[in-house]
């Protein structure tokens, strides 16, 4: 597999995952919780890195940089998705209370406090509103983040 093929495959996969998320939001009416939005941002970050790598088509060190940047974005997304899956599997009495919307928090609080609050999770993040093969949407996101992070590491450490 060439580095261009790997980069293009990663970009198309991220693009498709964001398209699916937007379909669920705008057609199926599933509004994303703050953790879902952060996962989308991580997929977009990976997608942009893969796209720039595809267009730039670097060799050697540049290829490693792009691969590692995509891996960092993917592993960050995997951590967020893992937290989301953990929240969804908490017993009902341990689920945190619902908090304010992400828009409100961004308007009212400093960014660091918003990040802390969102990553702690809220009751709306613990709801499971869709499953496929008994895996929730954050579970599928976690799987895709891991696969894409492995792909980006393949790009980073690929021999020419």
Structure tokens at 55: 């267009």
Residues 6+ apart with CB under 8 A from 118: 34, 35, 38, 102, 105
Q: Exposed, middle or buried by CB within 10 Å (0-12, 13-18, 19+), for 112?
A: exposed
- Counting the structural domains of the chain, the total is 1
How many Å apart are CA 48 and CA 39, to the nearest integer?
Answer: 14
> Between 61-88 and 34-56, two packed helices, what is the crossing angle to 10 degrees?
160
8-32: average pLDDT: 94
Strand partners, 131: 136
- Give the residue numbers spanning the domain of 79: 3-156
**pLDDT tens digit sequence for 58-89:** 888 989 999 999 999 999 999 999 988 888 88
Per-residue confidence (pLDDT) for residue 100, from 0 to 100: 66
pLDDT bracket for residue 11 (50, 70, 90)? very high
pLDDT at residue 128 above 90? no
Residues 71 and 152: beta-carbon distance below 8 Å: yes
Q: Are strands 131-132 and 135-136 parallel, antiparallel or unpaired?
A: antiparallel
User: Pick the residue with more confidence: 50 or 59?
Assistant: 50
pLDDT at residue 54 above 90? yes
pLDDT bracket for residue 140 (50, 70, 90)? very high
CATH for 112: 1.20.1550.10
pLDDT at residue 94 above 80? no
């Amino acid at each position: 597999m060439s580095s261009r093929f790997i980069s293009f495959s990663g970009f198309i996969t991220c693009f498709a995952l964001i398209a699916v998320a937007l379909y669920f939001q705008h057609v199926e009416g599933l509004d994303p919780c703050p953790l879902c939005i952060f996962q989308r941002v991580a997929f977009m970050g990976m997608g942009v890195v893969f796209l720039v790598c595809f267009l730039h088509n670097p060799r050697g060190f540049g290829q490693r940089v792009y691969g590692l940047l995509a891996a960092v974005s993917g592993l960050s997304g995997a951590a967020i998705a893992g937290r989301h899956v953990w929240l969804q599997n908490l017993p009902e009495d341990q689920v945190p209370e619902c908090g304010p919307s992400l828009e409100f928090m961004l308007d009212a609080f400093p960014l660091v406090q918003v990040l802390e609050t969102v990553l702690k999770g809220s009751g709306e993040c613990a709801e499971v509103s869709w499953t496929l093969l008994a895996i929730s949407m954050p579970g599928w996101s976690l799987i895709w983040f891991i696969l894409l992070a492995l792909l980006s590491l393949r790009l980073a450490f690929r021999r020419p």
